[in-house]
Amino acid sequence: MRVNDIVSGTILLLLGAAVAAHALGFPAAHGQTIGPGVFPGSIGLGLVLAGALLMRSGWRQTPRAPAVEWDEGLRQPRFAANGALVIGTVIFYALAVERVGFFPSAFVMLAVLFLAFGVSRRWIAPLAAAVTFGLHFAFYSLLSVPLPWGWLERFAW
């Protein structure tokens, strides 16, 4: 998704203003001349300034770019859905892994994305299973990262 400089400038200006306003509300630190709000406050003001400059350059640009331009990928439903699936599977994994465990969550994540990206159907399950096991071995057994067991707690090794 592409926006022109006027839109991105406006977003930055609003973000900067919100940050600066919020930072002004930080209480002064007892015994310190510079309070906790000064640094983020100046960054906020910097963003306001940068946003204003971007808006100005967008305004002067001729011919002016359209406010919002969608990438080709986002306009085609199939690819837009793939993008959503990437985000969705990560969210799914984050929500599921502690309860369900690493093996099912990782397998589902891989299988869904393989399917979406067009990997040949009969390869999906074996490939996803092999990668899941390989990763588990590397991270859990070799690097001792405590990947959650979830449903498979009883089979934990």
Partner 1 sequence: MTHVLEAFQLVLDPGVLGTVLLAALFGLFVGAVPGLTATMATALLVPVTFLMAPVPAIACMVTASAMAIFAGDIPGALLRMPGTPASAAYCEEANAMTRKGQAERVLGASLVCSVVGGLFGIIVLVTTAPLLAEFALQFSSFEYFWLVLLGLTCAVFIAPGRPLKGMVSLLIGLLIATVGFENPAAYPRFTFGTEALMSGLQLTPVMIGMFAVSEVIRHALAPAGPAHLPARGMGRIFRGQGTLLRQQAVPVLRGSALGTAIGALPGAGADIAAWIAYGISKRFSRTPEKFGTGHIEGVVEAGAANNSALAAAWIPALVFGIPGDSITAIVIGVLYMKGMNPGPTLFIENPQNIYAVFIVFLLANLLLLPLGWMAIKLAKNVLRVPRRVLMPIILLFCVVGAFAINNSVFDVGVMLAFGLLAFGLEANRFPIAPTILGLVLGGMLEQNLVTSLIKADGNPAAFFARPLAAGLGVATILIWLSPLIRRALRRRTAAATVLH
Partner 2 sequence: MTRPSLAFLLLALVACPCRAAEYPTRPITFIVPWGAGGGTDAVGRIMASLLERDLGRPVNVVNRTGGSGVVGHSAIAHARPDGYTIGILTVEIAMMHHQGLTRLDGSSFTPLGLVNLDPTAIQVRADSPYQTLGDLMNAIREQPGKLKASGTARGGIWHVSLCGLLREQRIAPEAVVWVPSVGNAAGLLDLVAGGVDIVPGSHPEGRSLIDAGRVRSLAILDDNPSQLYPAVPTGAQAIGTRWSMGAWRGIGAPKRLPKPIAERLQAAVKRAYDSREFAEFMAQRGFGRKWAGPEEFAAFMAREDEQMGEIMRALGLAR
The residues binding partner 2 (CB under 8 A) are 29-32, 144, 146, 154, 156
Q: How far apart are CA 99 and CA 120, in angstroms?
A: 30
**In this structure, is the dihedral angle defined by the CA atoms of residues 49, 51, 55 and 58, taken in order, positive or negative?**
positive
Q: Is 62 in the site for partner 1 (CB under 8 A)?
A: no
109 CB contacts (<8 Å, ≥6 apart)?
Answer: 89, 90, 92, 93
Residue choice 57, 59, 66, 141 for contact with partner 1 (CB under 8 A): 57
Burial class, 105, CB count within 10 angstroms (exposed 0-12 / middle 13-18 / buried 19+): buried
Phi-psi region of 31 (alpha: psi -120 to 50; beta: other; left: phi over 0): left
Q: Which does 106 bind (CB under 5 to 8 A by kind): partner 1, partner 2, none?
A: partner 1
Q: How far is the CB of 29 from partner 2 (least distance, A)?
A: 7
Determine the residue type at 114: F
> How many C-beta atoms lie closer than 10 Å to residue 51's C-beta?
21
In the complex, least distance from residue 59 CB atom to partner 1, rounded to whole angstroms? 14
Applying CB under 8 A, among 10, 17, 82, 152 the residue interacting with partner 1 is 82
Judged by the rule CB under 8 A, the positions of this chain that interact with partner 1 are 1-3, 8, 12, 19, 22-23, 26-27, 29, 31-36, 39-40, 43-44, 46-47, 50, 53-54, 57, 71-74, 76, 79-80, 82-83, 85-87, 89-91, 93-95, 97-98, 106, 109-110, 113-114, 116-119, 127, 131-132, 135, 138-139, 142-147
